[in-house]
Amino acid sequence: MRPGRQLAVLGLIFVVLYLLVFFSGGASGGWKDRLEPRLGLDLVGGTRLTLEATNTLDGRPPTPENLEEARQIIESRVNAYGVAEAEVVTEGNRNIVISLPGENRDMSGVGTAAELRFRKVLKITDGGGAVATPAPSPSASGSPQPSGSPSPQPSGSAPAKATASPSAGGQGGGAPAPTPSASPSASASPSADAAPVPQSIQEQRAAVEKKVGAAAWAAASGLQAPADLATDPSLAERLKPFGALSPQEVAVLTPEMQFNVPTITCAQLDARPAGSVKDEKQRAVACEGGAVKNLLDVAKVLGTDVSDADAALDQTSQWVVSLNFTGGGQSKWTELTREAFNNTGNACDASALGQDGKCRVAVVLDNKIVSSPEIQGVLTGDSQITGNFNQKDANALAGNLRYGALPVTFEQQEQQNVTATLGESHLRAGLLAAGIGMLLVILYSFFYYRLLGSVIFLSLVLSALLVFGALVVLGRQIGFTLTLAGIAGMIVSLGVAADSFVIYFERLKDEIREGRSPRSAVPRAWIRARRTIISANAITLMSAVVLYVVSVGTVKGFAFALGLATVLDLVVVFLFRHPIMTMFARTRAFLSPRVSGLGRALPARTEQTNPRTPRVKEA
């Protein structure tokens, strides 16, 4: 063999790895800063977020099963950010606590319900609390962005193909105040198949009726279309108490009352509790642009009809979220676009039609409209949600949709930065333990194997450098963080590496005892020991993989670190240990029992091959 080739490949791996360490994306600061791996919550502190499960609108508390299901979905969302040693645990019968390494981490979206609904837009009206005045049909000048949104809201479209792509028309570029329908519309009446109202909501409505007064309630109940307060100042005075209702109180009103009462504003509607428009069998009211109220039809396509969601770049290099429907979901989506394109039954009011006179379909995520494109054809393919996305926002939305909606709604109670009270001492102790372990292995190696101990020493140093560089790069690319459990996994890997040395060197002694020269014994010993080394490392690697798959929390970090160190040890075994042993076999020092560390294997061979050597027999 030519050992120089293997050593050259190993050198190339080191060059590429440390070029990534110093110059890859995310590398910043001085040389020392670029050599720092990401450390876990137990070493450097991090961010902790507490979510509290709220009662549903009908007053029922969350069940333990729903809370556990929500915890698993939230954990999947958090883990989608990368291998970040996240801890997602339940606390009591209501709270879920999320802990992530690194201060000031943005976790505002992980607790959102992600209830996706596709609803036709039946009517629109002014939601700014001003007097309703006529306005032209919304133009295609762009999607309004909901005010107060923590992240950019998309304005997407839902194309199946380029020729059937629905336009963004009908969404409006500002805050249009359309003319309310002059006559009562059938679309404004309660749906015939509406679900029964739970008793608790009836009680809450009764409390709201008492608060606003009988006159205001009667005036609101009698509205069949959005009221024009400019023509009836007395009506404005009677409906004024609705403007003082809290978002929680507005949420229990009927959709028709939320839409028709002009003193109920988008500010109140946007602040409703999560899950206020969850019921797909009921019509709903949601705002777009913070000033336009939309009366929405029952939801005929749900988030459960979406089989997958992915963030991708479109042809214009803009980030979009692609939706793939299930078999049944695709049929529902096609039927919904057919109804919208044909305006079946004239369900969509003239004020809600797009610029081409077609119905719009609102994509509603939780309580807000993500987009409301005009449908310009019967769509038989998948959809895209497009808009002012960056990569992070698109991935977050796709992850929320991919892992499903939460069965429980949550309110964020607190988000705080936590410090690692014992992190520095733990890190020092862990590194000290790793150093002591490596030192003991090296001392024993030099004592027992002498010259061969230098091979062990160099191999461990190279393995440590490979592992360290990999930790830095993986921390930037996939968010891997080093914790105490990870340090423990690397300490255990030292024993795995030492085992492979013992197997190889003892096999080498056996070959020499059988009468072979050191130069010929090295390749034969390698062939026989290689299988055992691979088998032993494969078992360790499989154990690490199984442990990583079935475990949670910091145990994952232990398994990941152990598996990583095991793989890199195999790289060093094949590209350094065997080539360097081949080179040593060609030296005179290798033939000396006192220097090589082969011990009595060489004298035994000399005794067998030299018949003149005197033998002493026992009497």
Q: What is the pLDDT of residues 500-531, one digit of tens each?
A: 888 888 888 888 888 777 778 888 888 888 88
- For 91-139, the pLDDT digits (tens) are 777 888 888 776 666 666 676 766 788 899 999 998 887 544 333 333 3
Per-residue pLDDT, 553? 65
167 CB-side CA count, 13 A: 17
Per-residue pLDDT, 183? 34
Distances from the Cα of 431 to the Cαs of 470, 487, 491, in angstroms?
Answer: 17, 8, 9
Question: Per-residue b/e over 587-604, b at no fewer than 16 CB within 10 Å?
Answer: eeebeeeeebbbeebbeb
Q: Are 525 and 558 in contact (CB under 8 A)?
A: no
- Identify which has the larger pLDDT, 562 or 482: 562
Per-residue pLDDT, 610? 47
Per-residue pLDDT, 379? 83
Per-residue pLDDT, 322? 86
Burial of 104 (0-12, 13-18, 19+ CB in 10 A): exposed
Q: Are 74 and 472 in contact (CB under 8 A)?
A: no
Q: How confident is the model at residue 227 (pLDDT cuts 50, 70, 90)?
A: confident
Tell me the CATH number of domain 116-412, given options 3.40.50.300, 1.10.10.10, 3.30.1380.10, 3.30.1360.200: 3.30.1360.200
Question: Per-residue b/e over 510-534, b at no fewer than 16 CB within 10 Å?
Answer: bbbbeebebeebbbbbbeebbeebe
Nearest to 293 by CA among 185, 132, 57: 132
User: How many CB atoms sit inside 10 A of residue 470's CB?
Assistant: 19
Distances from the Cα of 446 to the Cαs of 115, 392, 416, 435, 451, in angstroms?
Answer: 64, 52, 51, 17, 7
Same fold, 3-33+421-608 and 41-110+413-418: no
Residue 129 and residue 112: Cα distance in Å, rounded?
Answer: 28
Give alpha helix (H) positions in 38-183: 41-44, 64-79
Per-residue pLDDT, 192? 36
Average the pLDDT over 321-327 and give the result.
85
* DSSP states along 490-554: HHHHHHHHHHHHHHHHHHHHHHHHTT--HHHHHHHHHHHHHHHHHHHHHHHHHHHHHHHHH--TH
Average the pLDDT over 193-202 and give the result.
58
Tell me the CATH number of domain 3-33+421-608, given options 1.10.357.10, 3.40.50.1820, 1.20.1640.10, 2.60.40.180: 1.20.1640.10
Question: Per-residue b/e over 32-47, b at no fewer than 16 CB within 10 Å?
Answer: eebeebbbbbbbbbbb
pTM score above 0.95: no
Residue 589 and residue 591: Cα distance in Å, rounded?
Answer: 5
Average the pLDDT over 322-334 and give the result.
88
357 in the Ramachandran plot: left (φ > 0), alpha (ψ -120 to 50) or beta?
left
The answer to which of 5-14, 146-155, 275-284, 490-499 has the lowest mean pLDDT is 146-155
Average the pLDDT over 382-392 and give the result.
74
Residue 97 and residue 104: Cα distance in Å, rounded?
Answer: 16
Per-residue pLDDT, 541? 92
Q: Are 322 and 306 in contact (CB under 8 A)?
A: no
Q: How confident is the model at residue 188 (pLDDT cuts 50, 70, 90)?
A: very low
- For 446-505, the pLDDT digits (tens) are 887 777 788 888 888 898 899 989 988 888 887 777 888 888 888 888 777 778 888 888
Inter-helix orientation angle 601-609/484-513, to 10°: 10
* 198 pLDDT above the threshold of 60: no
Average the pLDDT over 135-153 and give the result.
34
Q: Are 116 and 401 in contact (CB under 8 A)?
A: yes
Query: Average per-residue pLDDT in the chain?
Result: 76
Cα 583 from chain centroid (whole Å): 49
Domains of the chain, by residue range, sit at 3-33+421-608, 41-110+413-418, 116-412
Report percent pLDDT > 70 for the chain: 76
Taking the alpha carbons of 125, 131, 137, 139 in that order, is the dihedral positive or negative? negative
Average the pLDDT over 334-351 and give the result.
90
* 420 pLDDT above the threshold of 60: yes
Residue 605 and residue 590: Cα distance in Å, rounded?
Answer: 14
* 162 pLDDT above the threshold of 70: no
* 419 pLDDT above the threshold of 60: yes
Give alpha helix (H) positions in 372-482: 391-402, 423-449, 451-477
Distances from the Cα of 15 to the Cαs of 11, 28, 223, 465, 570, in angstroms?
Answer: 6, 19, 75, 12, 18
Residue 268 and residue 283: Cα distance in Å, rounded?
Answer: 18
DSSP 303: G
Q: Are 312 and 447 in contact (CB under 8 A)?
A: no
Q: Does domain 41-110+413-418 have CATH number 3.30.70.3400?
A: yes
- Identify which has the larger pLDDT, 597 or 301: 301
Q: Hey, which of 255-264, 268-277, 379-388, 484-493 has the most confident mean pLDDT?
A: 255-264
Residues 6+ apart with CB under 8 A from 287: 127, 146, 266, 269, 270, 293, 294, 368, 369
Q: Which amino acid is at 550?
A: V
Q: How confident is the model at residue 195 (pLDDT cuts 50, 70, 90)?
A: very low
Average the pLDDT over 572-595 and give the result.
78
Taking the alpha carbons of 539, 500, 483, 396 in that order, is the dihedral positive or negative? negative
* 180 pLDDT above the threshold of 60: no
